[in-house]
Structure 1
Amino acid sequence: MAAEFEGVTVVDHPLVQHKLTIMRDAETSTRGFRQLLRETAALICYEATRDLPLETVAIRTPLAPMQAKKIAGKKLVFASILRAGNGLLEGMLDLVPSARVAHIGMYRDPKTLQPVEYYFKAPEDLSERTVIAVDPMLATANSAVAAINLLKSRGAKDVRFVCLLAAPEGIRRFRAAHPDVPVFTAAIDSHLDDHGYIVPGLGDAGDRMYGTK
């Protein structure tokens, strides 16, 4: 992977790529898109949590006592960048149902492409938890950078970012602002168009997920 993409993991599992192709198809229904996004999010989350620390605990199986592994420390926090982030959030909660949830309300000004914050709610002890921020698209990265800035300002130290698609421009912008935050994505596409959309992409993830256009 090129040096500019260091810190970025492309989850190229066949199931992820298959589901992504169906989501890209303009003929895929709202229902189908939403379900596939949920399923793919769980698969990407699997990779994003691969290195979580473990501890050994004593348990008893139906047959014998044993020493077994479980995740150490406090529960994860999934930070959804509204509104499209909720599509990934649901799939990740399927995998880690005990995770805490933060919501970051931001929308992209269509003229300036800059993020406008309107809501933030998160657990108080972010500094003691692994925080995974989620948004389907890493396009200009303006919203993602602003969201991570906000999480860090509230104490988050161990932060990761999960998205469905990324553009090279967005990766460069994000990594320049937050080189300590690893990125997990299903694909890195060609480029951004004049409106800040990823090409070939899949359109507006929020609109396709909720049927609003």
Structure 2
Amino acid sequence: MRVHVADHPLITHKLTVLRNKNTPSVIFRALTEELVTLLAYEATRAVRVEPVDIETPVTSTTGVTLSQPKPLVVPILRAGLGMLEGMVRLMPSAEVGFLGMVRNEETLEPTTYAERLPEDLSDRQCFVLDPMLATGGSLGTAIEFLFKRGAVDVTAICLLAAPEGLAALEKATEGRDVTIVLGALDERLNEHGYIVPGLGDAGDRLYGTV
């Protein structure tokens, strides 16, 4: 498993505003989209492309286009949905699928309650969107779900992660082609499984249900 923590002052600045408990939902949503676009730039460095011949106003030349089958973007509902617009802004021709997952707040174990994905993901590159990598349970389950459908490599984009979640995810995805792109790696998890210092419940703050 490869882990890339983005080191850019604009990303750190935007994360600082997200962390602030007084930041309203409308600003939180806008900044989340902006952050995902910045992180997606790093996450798509290895996206597969193929050569294409084109005519410019001056001459003939060869460029590149996204390879077939097109990448699949998979937000984990509900919080991952707030990251989708920022991702497709950078890669508008990608296809989009959805996974609905919920964490039991007592056991911290994830449950999949909905999915809308192609049945066959053979030879597909997948990009999973999940704002918080806390215990690693939900993201690990989602990634394994995609590989079982035939995906060849999976890149996850998260705003924040805890070291415990990264360690659990690395163990769960051993032998798989997985990349994790993070806005920041935080200190730890607290006794309730929340990232510290974190930013609270991303879904609640995105949709104003705090």
TM interval, short-chain normalised: over 0.9
Measure how far apart 1:44 and its partner are: 0.5
Cα distance in 2 between the residues matched to 1:112 and 1:157: 31
Using structure 2 for the length normalisation, give the TM-score.
0.95
Amino acid at match of 1:165: L
Segment drifting more, 92-101 vs 118-127: 118-127
> Contact between 2:140 and 2:169, CA under 8 Å: does it hold in 1?
yes
Aligned partner (choices 172, 177, 181) of residue 172 of structure 2: 177
Name the SS for the 1:182 alignment partner: strand
**2:154 is aligned with 1:159:** yes
Measure how far apart 1:71 and its partner are: 2.6
Name the SS for the 1:127 alignment partner: coil
**Partner residue of 2:124?**
129
Using structure 1 for the length normalisation, give the TM-score.
0.94
Name the SS for the 1:185 alignment partner: strand
Cα distance in 1 between the residues matched to 2:132 and 2:93: 25
**Partner residue of 2:9?**
14
Measure how far apart 1:154 and its partner are: 1.4
> Contact between 1:127 and 1:158, CA under 8 Å: does it hold in 2?
no
Measure how far apart 1:63 and its partner are: 2.0
Runs of 4+ in structure 1 off by over 3 angstroms are none
**Partner residue of 2:94?**
99
**Partner residue of 1:194?**
191
> Contact between 1:166 and 1:187, CA under 8 Å: does it hold in 2?
yes
> Contact between 1:105 and 1:119, CA under 8 Å: does it hold in 2?
yes
Q: CA RMSD in A?
A: 1.2
Cα distance in 2 between the residues matched to 1:118 and 1:53: 31
> Contact between 2:126 and 2:154, CA under 8 Å: does it hold in 1?
yes
Name the SS for the 2:69 alignment partner: coil
Name the SS for the 2:122 alignment partner: helix
> Contact between 1:105 and 1:117, CA under 8 Å: does it hold in 2?
yes
Amino acid at match of 2:57: P
Could you list the per-position Cα deviations for residues 91-126 of structure 1 after superposition, in whole angstroms to 9, with x for gaps in the alignment?
101111111111111101111111111101112331
**2:64 is aligned with 1:69:** yes
Amino acid at match of 1:104: L
Could you list the per-position Cα deviations for residues 21-50 of structure 1 after superposition, in whole angstroms to 9, with x for gaps in the alignment?
111111111000000000100110110001
* Runs of 5+ consecutive residues of structure 2 not aligned to the other structure: none
Amino acid at match of 1:20: L
Aligned partner (choices 11, 16, 36) of residue 41 of structure 1: 36
> Contact between 1:127 and 1:157, CA under 8 Å: does it hold in 2?
yes
* Runs of 5+ consecutive residues of structure 1 not aligned to the other structure: 1-5
**Partner residue of 1:3?**
none
Measure how far apart 1:174 and its partner are: 0.3
Measure how far apart 1:158 and its partner are: 1.3
Measure how far apart 1:73 and its partner are: 2.8
Amino acid at match of 1:94: R
Measure how far apart 1:55 and its partner are: 2.3
Matches within 5 A, 1:194-213: 194-213=191-210
Could you list the per-position Cα deviations for residues 99-158 of structure 1 after superposition, in whole angstroms to 9, with x for gaps in the alignment?
111111110111111111110111233122210111000000111111112111211121
